[in-house]
Amino acid sequence: MGNELYFEDIKVGDALPELSKGPIMKLQHVLYAGASGDFNPLHTDDDFAKAVGMKDGVISHGMLIMGFVGQAITAWVPRKCLRKFGVRFAGMTKPGNTIMVSGTVTDKRQENGENLVFCEVVARDEGGDVKITGNFSAALPLKRG
C-alpha cells in the first residue's frame, strides 16, 4: 500500500480500487489444490468433472476466488486494520474467466473506541456474472495533528 488510509478521508459511497485477476488457468487450480490441500478432482480433472455433471469440465475452488477478494481488500486496507470479512458464494468460476473485484463503502462510525468503515464487495467475471458477494469492516487510524 503506497499511502496511509485515514478514517477522515473515507466517505460513504467511496469505491475500493478494482482488482482484476485472470484469465484463470487450469494450472492455477492445481497450484491452489497443493497450497490448500483441497485435491477434489472437481477442480483439477476434466473427465471427473464432466462425469459428475459439469458439462464444461473443472471449476475453480471457491476459496481461490475468495482469496482474490481478500487480496483486493488488503491492497486497500492494511491487514492489521481488518476486523471482519465474510462472503457468500454465488456462482461457479471456470478456467478462462477473468475475475473483477470491486466494492463500496456503505457505512462509517466510531464504535468501541475504533474508527470503523464498513464495505460491501463483489467478484464478477468478464460477463458480469456474480461469483461472490461479501462485506468487511476495518478500523482505520485518525490523522495526527
What percent of the chain shows pLDDT beyond 90?
94
* Predicted pLDDT at 144: 79
Domain assignment of residue 87, given as a range = 1-24+61-145
Of the CA atoms within 13 Å of residue 125, those in its CB half-sphere come to: 14
Q: Are residue 75 and residue 119 in the same domain, yes or no?
A: yes
What percent of the chain shows pLDDT beyond 70?
97
Nearest to 136 by CA among 95, 98, 91, 87: 87
Q: Are residue 96 and residue 35 in the same domain, yes or no?
A: no
* Predicted pLDDT at 72: 97
Q: Are residue 72 and residue 112 in the same domain, yes or no?
A: yes
CA angle 119, 68, 134 (to 5 degrees): 30
Task: Give the tens place of pLDDT for each residue, 79-124.
Answer: 999 999 999 999 999 999 999 999 999 999 999 999 999 999 999 9
CB 70 within 8 A of CB 95: no
* Segment holding 27, helix H or strand E: helix 26-36
Task: Give the tens place of pLDDT for each residue, 4-14.
Answer: 899 999 999 99
pTM for the full predicted model: 0.92
Q: Are residue 55 and residue 89 in the same domain, yes or no?
A: no
d(CA 84, CA 45): 34
Q: Are residue 136 and residue 115 in the same domain, yes or no?
A: yes
Q: Are residue 69 and residue 51 in the same domain, yes or no?
A: no
CB 118 within 8 A of CB 135: yes
* Predicted pLDDT at 3: 67
pLDDT at 2 over 60: no
Q: Are residue 100 and residue 144 in the same domain, yes or no?
A: yes
Q: Are residue 79 and residue 115 in the same domain, yes or no?
A: yes
Number of Cβ atoms within 10 Å of the Cβ of 127? 7
